[in-house]
Structures are given as structure tokens and as C-alpha cells.
Copies of this chain bind each other. A is one copy, B any other.
Amino acid sequence: MKTGKRPAGIPALASDRTIGRLSLYRRMLYNAKSEGRRYIYSHEIASLVGVTPAQVRRDLMSIGYSGSPNRGYDTNELLRSIEVFLYAPDGQNVVLAGVGNLGRAILAYFTGRRPRLQIVASFDSDPMKANRVILGCRCHPLSELAKVVKEQRVDVGILTVPASAAQDVAENLVAAGVTGIVNFAPVALRVPPNVYVEDIDLAMALEKVAFFSRQSRKEPRAGGNE
């Protein structure tokens, strides 16, 4: 029994994979809209995002949006529907822990845009970094983590600390109320079951690609993909 009681009218919980693709559709629709596109077909969405048309229709089912058989989907309406489904009405706050090379790159990546999902603070154990503004974002010492997370009602933490510190910082984030973590540290975090963790393991990704690139060389027929 996974899907507990939920407010009537909200369709069945969409899967992890589906949520990821909805995010891709949203970005693509945003671009399409900017280019003045009024209507778009599932096969166009599919080809721009790199999935099958059936997959697109299936995913859109799960947010309960319907297109018209003769003109496809209304770009703007669909965009809004996905945003309503994916985003919190008042936005969500994010913090980043670990302002090293990777942490700074991530900060730079998300700074500015994304009013709905803003990095409101960063943390680092290095006293040289703490209490300064780095890439438009105030950096605090780790000791202030709980205070800042609570005051700013932070939902999500991005972990770019060294592997050795990751579990500890994750626990502090969770204790302070964070329920979602993007984890770049190459360790399996132990968190309570209500906390969602997305691991981004750069070393693993590179090794995987290296492996399959080698397979392609041996056997030019069998290309993997993702």
C-alpha cells in the first residue's frame, strides 16, 4: 500500500521517472512558448526531449491534462498545468552545504534565475568562507545551519561537502527540517524514509560512460543510451 489518502481531485501519484520528465517537458515548453509556438503535438515534445510520443502522453495523463486530437496541446496551457503540478505555489527555499569548487559551480549555475526555487544561503566549515557573500549568496558557518534552515523555512539541501562530512551534514539538515537532498557526495546517505535523496555521483557517471563507450568500440552494433 503506497498511495495513502490524498485530497480528492488530485490524480494518482506520479512516479519518480515521470516527475523528472515533466521537468524536462516544462523547460522545453518554456522555450517553445518563447519562440511563439501556440500548439504542439506529443511527437514533437517527444523528439525535443528524447523520449517516445506514447511516453509523453502517458506522463501528461498523470497530471490530468488533455490536448485536442486535431491541434495537439496548447503550449501555454500545458506549460501552466505542469508548473501548477510541479511547483509549490509560494516557491521553495534551498540551501547549499560545502562551498568548494563544485559547490561554487552549482551556486553559479542556479544564481539569478529560478524565482520559485532559490538558494537562500550556503554553509561551509572554512572560517575564511563563512560570513561572506559568495556568488550572490551569503555563506554561513555550519554551526548556524539549523537556525538558518528553520528561519528561512528551507525544504531542500544541496550537499557538496567532502564524503567524510556528508552523513553528518545531512543529519543536521534533516534535523532542521529539510525533506529533500541533492547529494553530490559519493556516499550512501542514511536518512529517514520521509526524506527524498537524489544522488548525483560524478565518478560513477564517468565510469559508466567509459564502460559503455568501450562496448561500442568492440561491438559497433550494440549502443546503449539513456
Cβ–Cβ < 8 Å partners of A20 in chain B: 204, 208
Cβ–Cβ < 8 Å partners of A109 in chain B: 101-102, 202
The answer on a CB contact under 8 Å between B110 and A213 is no
Overall SS of chain A's interface: mixed
A contact residues vs B (CB 8 Å cutoff) = 2-4, 6, 13, 16, 19-20, 23-24, 26-27, 48-50, 86-88, 92, 94, 101-102, 104-106, 108-110, 117, 155-156, 158, 178-182, 186, 188-189, 192-217, 219-226
The answer on a CB contact under 8 Å between A196 and B223 is yes
Q: Beyond A16-B226, A213-B178, A226-B197, is A219–B4 a contact (Cβ under 8 Å)?
A: yes
Cβ–Cβ < 8 Å partners of A200 in chain B: 200, 202, 205
Cβ–Cβ < 8 Å partners of A224 in chain B: 16, 196
Q: In whole angstroms, what is the CA distance A108 to B202 when docked? A: 12
Q: Beyond A20-B204, A48-B188, A204-B23, is A209–B180 a contact (Cβ under 8 Å)?
A: yes
The answer on a CB contact under 8 Å between B6 and A219 is yes
The answer on a CB contact under 8 Å between A209 and B226 is no
Cβ–Cβ < 8 Å partners of A197 in chain B: 209, 225-226
Cβ–Cβ < 8 Å partners of A105 in chain B: 101-102, 104-106
Please give the distance in Å from A143's CB to the nearest CB on chain B: 24
Q: In whole angstroms, what is the CA distance A199 to B224 when docked? A: 13
Please give the distance in Å from A26's CB to the nearest CB on chain B: 8
Cβ–Cβ < 8 Å partners of A193 in chain B: 223, 225
Q: In whole angstroms, what is the CA distance A212 to B196 when docked? A: 6
Cβ–Cβ < 8 Å partners of A3 in chain B: 222
Q: In whole angstroms, what is the CA distance A188 to B2 when docked? A: 32
Cβ–Cβ < 8 Å partners of A216 in chain B: 179-180, 194-196
Please give the distance in Å from A123's CB to the nearest CB on chain B: 17
The answer on a CB contact under 8 Å between A155 and B214 is yes
